[in-house]
A and B are shown apart, each in its own frame.
Chain A
Amino acid sequence: MTTISPATMAAVRASKAIPNAEYLLSAEGVRKEFPGVVALDDVSFRLRRGTVHALMGENGAGKSTLMKILAGIYHPDEGTIKLKGVDVRLQSPLDALENGIAMIHQELNLMPFMTVAENIWIRREPKNRFGFVDHSEMRRMTAKLFERLKIKIDPEIEVRHLSVASRQMVEIAKAVSYESDVLIMDEPTSALTETEVGHLFEIIGDLRSHGIGIVYITHKMNELFEIADEFSVFRDGKYIGTHSSTDVTRDDIIKMMVGREITQMFPKEVVPIGDTVLSVKNLTLNDVFYDISFDVRAGEILGVAGLVGSGRSNVAETLFGVTPASSGSIEINGKPIRIDSPNTAIRNRMAFLTEDRKDTGCLLILDILENMQVAVLQDQFVKGGFVKEKQAYAACEEMSRKLRVKTPNLYERIENLSGGNQQKVLIGRWLLTNPRILILDEPTRGIDVGAKAEIHRFVTELARDGVAVIMISSELPEVLGMSDRIMVMHEGRVTGFLDRAEATQIKIMELAAR
């Protein structure tokens, strides 16, 4: 457990001297860098007492980073945070909590095998005179809290038995129990039904009327108009502006979110489009995505856009046999194929560059050679079980040269390479298998501009060679710049297709964030 820093303690004490500071919580000139990426650049944010302030922006705009800074999870590289007008340096989430800033995470942080009451009062359990936890007092406190919030959940039930919505309520009650002045909510409605959303909004309204300030992150436009008083827009780690939600329209907001010009040149070439290679019909994975149908042709780049959680990556995983479909059909070159494992997919000359380099891509502790050859060894460079080391090495070396992987030799551990070079090695892994269908999930996430351009160039070359490419990306300029056609997804369904000629950032956002 972290303790509260003396500086913060002093700040809190001092804060009582300025009870009517104009803003409850404010951030000025905040900058945060991660290796290779500037996540926030000179960002400002001001939260008034008794208001709901929404943070809007595309994926990667910097909302989550800002929120984590406000909640004490990250520390800003530059800039100041003021709580009730007083400078604070939040050392940890606990420190933030003790100062009246509570955060409700998207991935809920409750302990499943403890009761609702135990979860809420953890670390602050009421004790009886023998020093043991006083359960009846704890129950009474929980009941009182729930009555105030009009929550109907049994305080004695173990959290694992609760639905996601109920857990969300427990999280909110827990945050309120700290008498927090500021509540940060990260897409709280993403797992809730309409009635549950209604209840949540009632609670939020009640909290607001008690002077609590709420930072509300959402991708949903209608929620913004329904619940938020003000909103701030972020784009590419920069603060764009703050407005009252009563004097703007939906279109204004979308424009603010995507207003960036396409500055990078994409080396997209017009290449002859061949026959349909992959045809997907009514592909469904229960509770994740439904009725996905599309075709991809040789030489075509199909961009897939949609917000995080729209099911884009799940569709890719299912196509590749990582999580087999519940229903629907897949045809390759007109032949129906059941893809039940990645191995089957590879044998049908598919390749899949996954979204998460570290978790599902790199064999981090192994060298470049092992990383590059692992997929192709399924059916090449092997005789009688023995790897033809020289040939495999030569092929990997040639690929590494072609992709311009920056390394002295192939015996370097992949974990010592930069993100861009790791990505090139993983692309090399798949190119060695000579695929006809290439699925790329966020191929340029978190890599530098130079490597990004190179990867775009490889993808273009592959399309020229007649590979059918499916490219999932959260970066709209990338999708617009590279795709022949764009499929947009929202909440597990395809909401529309856009041709290269007609597609704009605004049209995509309209389909992605309805």
Chain B
Amino acid sequence: MSILRVEPVVMDSFGIEPTLRDDTLSVKLTGTGDMAAVGPLGFFLKDIQSEALRLRVSAVAFDVRALYFLNSSCLKALISFISSVAGQGLKCKVEFITDARLGWQRRSLTALERMSPELVSIADT
């Protein structure tokens, strides 16, 4: 049985909780992705990328419904992640589970989807 070798991130205003279900690596982001979250998110995404490679998962699903805000530096980390996934030729989809009521999600993630439509998909709830 595969065990996830990446630690959750627990901060006062930001959190990341990774879980492995079948061949999907789920990542739940919560709180506020502001400047304090930039470093931890960057490191986490680097780790999760190697985990995706090691476990050969078919999808990484980011559940951002409880992520209230994501600033441009955090978004940059997500874009770098997606670029690397694409660059490594991983057969791994990136899915965002979003809440349409949150403005940033529509704005930023739609642009992400437009950028790599074959890789990124958005599921509104």
Do they bind each other?
Answer: no
Interface residues of B (CB under 8 A from A): none
Q: Residues on A close to B: CB < 8 A? A: none
